[in-house]
Chain A
Amino acid sequence: MLPDDTKRMRSDADKARLYDRQLRLWQKDGQAALEGARVVVLGSSTLASESLKNLVLPGIGEFVVVDDAVVGAQDVATNFFVQAADAGQPRAERIVENLCELNPDVAGRAVVRAPAAVVAAEDPDADAALLAGASLVIACAQPAAVVQAASRRCWAAGVPLLAATSAGLLAEVRAAVREHTVVESHAAARPDLRLTAPFPALREYVDSVDLGALDSPALAHVPFVVLLIKALDAWAAAAAAEKRALTYAQKKEVAAAVRAMAPGPDEENFAEAAAAATTGCADYEIPGDVARILADPAADQPATPFWLLVAALRRYVASDYAAGTLPHSGSIPDMKADTHSYVTLQRIYKQKAEQDRAELAAHLRAVMHDAGLPADHVSAAAIDVFCKNAARLRVLRTAPLHADRPALDALAADGALAHYALFRAAERFHAAHGRYPGAPPAGAAAETGTETEAETETEAETVAGLDALVERDARALADAARALMADEWGVESPEVPDALAAEFARSGFLELHNISAVAGGIVAQEAIKLITHQYVPHDNTCIIDTANSKLVATRA
Chain B
Amino acid sequence: MACAVGFERFLKLKAPHVADFELVGEDGETPADLLAKAKVLVIGAGGLGCEILKNLAMSGFKNIDVIDMDTIDISNLNRQFLFRKKDVGQPKATVAAEFIRRRSPGINITAHYKRIQDMPEEFYLGLSLIICGLDSIEARRWINAYIHGLTEAHGFDGFKPIVDGGTEGLKGNMRVILPKHNACFECGLGMYPPKTTYPICTIANTPRLPEHCIEWASVLEWPRVFPSTKLDGDDVDHINWVVEQASQRAAKFSIAGVDFSLAQGVVKNIIPAIASTNAIVAAACVNEAFKIVTSCSPYLENSLLYTGDTGVYLLAYPLHQVEECLVCGQKEGAMSAPAESTLEELIDALKAHGTFQLKAPSLSVGGTSLYFQNPKALEEQTRPNLAKKLRDLFDDGATLTVTDPTLPTGLRVTVTFAAS
Contact = CB atoms under 8 A, between A and B. Distances in A.
A514 B1 contact: no
A455 B1 CA distance: 8
B302 to A, nearest CB: 9
A517 interface: yes
Contacts of B7: 77-78, 512-513
A508 B9 CA distance: 9
Contacts of B352: none
Interface string B129-169: 00000000000000000000000000000000000000001
Nearest to B253: A339
B92 interface: no
Interface in A441-468: 444-446, 449-452, 455, 462-463, 465-467
Interface stretch (A20-28, A244-252, A376-384): A20-28
B9 A510 contact: yes
B275 A54 contact: yes
B312 A440 contact: no
B253 A83 contact: no
Contacts of B299: 549
Interface in A57-100: 57-59, 72-74, 77-80, 83
B237 to A, nearest CB: 15
A547 B272 CA distance: 31
A547 B301 CA distance: 12
Nearest to B202: A336
Contact of B274 (A25, A77, A552): A25
Given A18-B75, A549-B300, A535 B81 contact: no
A506 interface: yes
B258 interface: no
Name which of B57, B58, B207, B290 has the most chain A CB atoms within 10 A of its CB: B58
A348 interface: no
Name which of A23, A467, A506 has the most chain B CB atoms within 10 A of its CB: A506
Given A58-B275, A506-B15, A535-B310, A74 B208 contact: no
A354 interface: no
A524 B170 CA distance: 11
B286 A553 contact: no
A443 to B, nearest CB: 10
B16 interface: yes
A502 to B, nearest CB: 4
B275 A53 contact: yes
B261 interface: yes
Name which of A20, A503, A511, A528 has the most chain B CB atoms within 10 A of its CB: A20
A446 B309 CA distance: 42
Contact of B1 (A444, A518, A536): A444
A512 B6 contact: yes
A19 B312 contact: no
B191 interface: no
A405 interface: no
A520 B17 contact: no
A521 B9 CA distance: 24
Nearest to A534: B309
Interface in B196-215: 206-209
A546 B287 contact: yes
Contacts of A236: none
Contacts, number: 251
A553 B272 contact: no
Contacts of A508: 9
Interface string B322-352: 0000000000000000000000000000000
Interface in B237-292: 253-255, 261, 265, 270-284, 286-287, 290-291
Interface string B292-318: 000001111100100011111111100
Contacts of A317: none
A524 B5 contact: no
A446 B279 contact: no
A265 B313 CA distance: 41
A503 B16 CA distance: 6
Given A77-B5, A451-B2, A553-B312, A21 B170 contact: no
B77 interface: yes
Nearest to B211: A334
A216 B169 CA distance: 43
A513 to B, nearest CB: 4
Contacts of A503: 16-17
B13 interface: yes
B272 A22 contact: yes
Name which of B74, B265, B308 has the most chain A CB atoms within 10 A of its CB: B308
B265 A25 contact: no
Interface stretch (A272-280, A364-372, A537-545): A537-545
Contacts of A538: 308, 311-312
A515 interface: yes
A337 B206 contact: yes
A551 interface: yes
B412 interface: no
Nearest to B57: A80
Nearest to A468: B14
Nearest to A536: B310
B103 interface: yes
Interface in A20-39: 20-25
A21 B79 contact: yes
A205 to B, nearest CB: 16
A169 interface: yes
A459 B267 CA distance: 60
Nearest to B304: A551
A339 B12 contact: no
A334 B210 CA distance: 11
Nearest to A79: B58
Contacts of A74: 5-6
Contacts of A24: 169, 261, 265, 270, 272
Interface string A223-253: 0000000000000000000000000000000
Interface in B59-76: 59, 74-75
Contacts of A77: 5-8, 58
B6 A186 contact: no
Contact of B287 (A17, A169, A467, A500): A169
B175 interface: no
B290 A514 contact: yes
A186 B74 CA distance: 27
A486 interface: no
A288 B254 CA distance: 36
Contact of A470 (B14, B261, B291, B312): B14
A306 to B, nearest CB: 18
A83 B102 CA distance: 10
Interface in A514-535: 514-518, 520-522, 524-526, 528-529, 535
A510 B6 contact: yes
A339 B74 CA distance: 38
B316 A334 contact: no
A550 B312 contact: no
B186 interface: no
A450 B283 CA distance: 28
Contact of A512 (B54, B59, B265, B279): B59
A409 interface: no
Given A22-B78, A102-B81, A343-B255, A521 B280 contact: yes
B123 to A, nearest CB: 26
Contacts of A470: 13-14
A426 B417 CA distance: 67
B279 A334 contact: no
B225 interface: no
Contact of B314 (A221, A449, A542): A542
4 smallest CB-CB distances across A and B, nearest first, come from: A77-B6, A521-B279, A517-B283, A521-B280
Given A54-B274, A506-B15, A548-B17, 19 more contacts: A17-B74, A20-B270, A21-B78, A21-B270, A22-B272, A72-B5, A77-B8, A80-B54, A80-B57, A452-B2, A466-B1, A507-B10, A513-B59, A517-B51, A536-B309, A538-B312, A549-B300, A549-B316, A553-B311
8 contacts: A24-B261, A25-B272, A77-B6, A335-B208, A440-B3, A514-B283, A525-B308, A538-B312
